Chains A and B, each alone.
Chain A
Amino acid sequence: MTNPDLGTSPDEVQFRFRDDEPADHGTVTVDACCDQTNATAVRIEPGDDARTLLPFLDRLALIEVNFPAYGDGRGYSSARILREAGYAGELRAVGDVLIDQLSHMRRCGFDAFAPDQRLDEDDAARAFATWDNVYQRTVDGRKTIQETRHE
């Protein structure tokens, strides 16, 4: 069963870096997702093990990663793990998502953002563009500074 209270709606998504149509139904918990064969959208809480979703990635179109408090950084690892496993659907950061987390979240594979409180568009645009170059290789596929140095 889809829990109507769970999940953000496409209307609440403030930033989206995808061309496909957003999934327009609520998400289920990780446990429910593993039990239900037809769920296509799921929400991960900080304590959930993202790897339990790996067998189901093919059928998922939306994974929300909840940040109840911005200081709890487990969601960054969840996101990278999902992308590293080849998940190609929408990865949405929801909850206490603030300007200054945007650039790191993007690097960890998030491509949609539904902050609890709408963010200033100009501030956000600047935040997404913080790093002209990057030191670490992540799932965003950007070439690292070290790679550029040794081309």
Chain B
Amino acid sequence: MYSYDQYDQQMVDARVAEFRDQAHRRLEGKLTEDQFKPLRLMNGLYLQLHAYMLRVAIPYGTLNSRQMTALGDIADKYDRGYGHFTTRQNLQYNWIKLEDAADILADLAKVEMHAIQTSGNCIRNISSDHFAGAAADELVDPRPYAELLRQWSSFHPEFTYLPRKFKIAVIAAEKDRAAMRLHDIGIQIIEKDGEQGGEIGARFYVGGGMGRTPMIAPMIRDFVPLDQLITYSEACLRVYNRYGRRDNKYKARIKILVHELGAEEYTRQVEQEFAHMLDQGVEPPREELERIKPFFDDPAFEDGAKHVDRSDPDFALWVDRNTHRHKHDSYVSAVISLKPVGGIPGDATGEQIRIMARLAKQYSFDELRIMHTQNVVLPHVKIEDLHALWTALDAADLGAPNMDSIEDMIACPGLDYCALANARSIPLAQRISEKFDASGKTEKLGELKLKISGCINACGHHHAGHIGILGVDRKGVENYQLSLGGSEAEDTSLAKITGPGFTEDGVIEAVEKVTDVYLDAREDGERFLDTYRRIGMAPFKEALYD
């Protein structure tokens, strides 16, 4: 994986020093809270209901065991012993003291990490496919391109005060595991027939997003040559920076600009800016991509067993559910579920984080990934090591065999932590997983993506859930809207609301009912989503409201 050279390190160190200076000026009263706010936000520090929250960037969700260990140590030293893995492939601490923030950033910098641009109206952490470099179905590893974009977007002088936050995802497979088209810019690395055979380039989708007005990004360019990737991105951003709405923060995301101008007109403006920028020399030298690529070379894979011994049914179940096909047939990618039955989705203790780090070192070439579904991946595990790995995970309460099942739900922090929340998400998630586990229905339902947000901001991706739950405030009482049919995979779609909302007990019952409709109606091999698409909303509505 990528590792810093002296320059990358210097940039992060410079930022830590800058933040120390800013925090110092705040404490001296030279900065008002209003002036300090955007600065701390650019360093990932939010003020929440009970304490400060700090977000740590994990570029394209990839990290090594030394970094993971540091995250566990910080959880113990500065938080209440927990880290929370988020849908942005990041880690968030929910109980931070302002006085500690600069020290935490310094601890992070020691292991080549930071909290830069994890909030604020700037280009955020670049996300990517969590199976990058391991998946059997990818064209190339998307991370070198993501790293090129990371450097470009870090401390970008022109794009630090954008109309609103800006999120970029990069993938390089037909299967979309990064919700690419629900990002401000989604980039798919593709191959087209060129003069000398296949030529690699980037397809640009711009103007997707969730939040209160969810939109699926339209494609604006089907092929950008690799040596123009940064220039094209810069053109997309400049048009947005100049013309994105600033009069209303709810209409400030690029999706609104693209929607209001129309994709065609936005594209025309980008192309015009792009033509101008090609002369400005903004593209990094081509050698830079070549320098970055070897960092992501395959580790030294060895041939070994291709099958596991399935005599232990618990182990066999975990293998079936939680492993993903690897490009080398003696390996798999193993998903560590952070969704134990009744647990808080995405939470891990400091000790669990360190255990995952140790296991990565022992079994996965020192590498881990954070998934946007709030789980952790060991990308390269030898099939013959799987049993030992599973045994260790299980002992640490990290062995839940539930990837992509209803128990593997996404839930935002909600009213338990978040200052913007209308309703609690976490207790709801806990109750649903307990209920489905107890009734044994999880297994029958197969792949079913349930996503919960505590308010319209949609941090829990509810628009993209096969089943989505949104917390709303109804006359001061927590209320939940149910929606069906969303997807953030390559068949991206937005979920539709079923009808009037429910109480907390009511929505749990409603989830039960819609899954029953599915089980009754499904045809061979259909997932919940497929059945919904075939039979439509009506039968579900009937079961819910008649």
> Which residues of A approach B to under 8 Å, CB–CB?
46, 49, 70-74, 76-77, 80, 84, 98-101, 103-105, 107-108, 120, 123, 126, 130-138, 144-150
Contacts and interface: CB of A to CB of B under 8 A. Distances in A.
A149 B10 contact: no
Q: Which 7 A-B pairs have the closest CB atoms?
A: A73-B161, A107-B157, A146-B284, A104-B157, A150-B287, A145-B7, A146-B288
B124 to A, nearest CB: 15
Given A145-B151, A146-B151, A146-B284, A84 B276 contact: yes
B7 A148 contact: yes
Nearest to A78: B242
15 contacts: A73-B121, A76-B158, A76-B160, A77-B241, A100-B39, A131-B11, A133-B7, A136-B156, A137-B281, A137-B284, A146-B151, A146-B285, A149-B5, A149-B291, A150-B287
B394 interface: no
Contact of B157 (A98, A99, A136, A148): A136
Contacts of B156: 135-136
A108 B157 contact: yes
A84 B280 contact: yes
Contacts of B280: 84, 137
Q: Is the interface of B mostly helix, strand, loop or mixed?
A: helix
B275 to A, nearest CB: 13
B69 to A, nearest CB: 28
A95 to B, nearest CB: 13
A132 B14 contact: yes
Interface in B253-289: 276, 280-285, 287-288
A98 B35 contact: yes
A135 to B, nearest CB: 5
Interface of B: 5, 7-8, 10-11, 14, 18, 21-22, 25, 30, 35, 38-39, 121, 151-152, 154-162, 238, 241-242, 246, 276, 280-285, 287-288, 291
A80 B158 contact: yes
B5 A73 contact: no
A104 B160 CA distance: 8
A148 B291 CA distance: 13
A130 B19 CA distance: 11
B340 to A, nearest CB: 41
A55 B30 CA distance: 42
Contacts of A126: 21
Contacts of A138: 157-158, 282
Most buried by A among B25, B156, B157, B285: B157
B155 A73 contact: no
A100 B276 contact: no
Contacts of A120: 30
A145 B9 CA distance: 12
A145 B150 CA distance: 13
A116 to B, nearest CB: 12
A76 B283 CA distance: 19
Contact of A133 (B10, B21, B283, B291): B10
Contacts of A84: 276, 280
Contacts of B21: 123, 126
A138 B155 CA distance: 12
A132 B157 contact: no
A70 B160 CA distance: 11
A110 B152 CA distance: 21
A40 B18 CA distance: 38
Contact of A149 (B14, B160, B246, B288): B288
Contacts of A137: 280-284
Contacts of B157: 76, 103-105, 107-108, 136, 138
B25 A74 contact: no
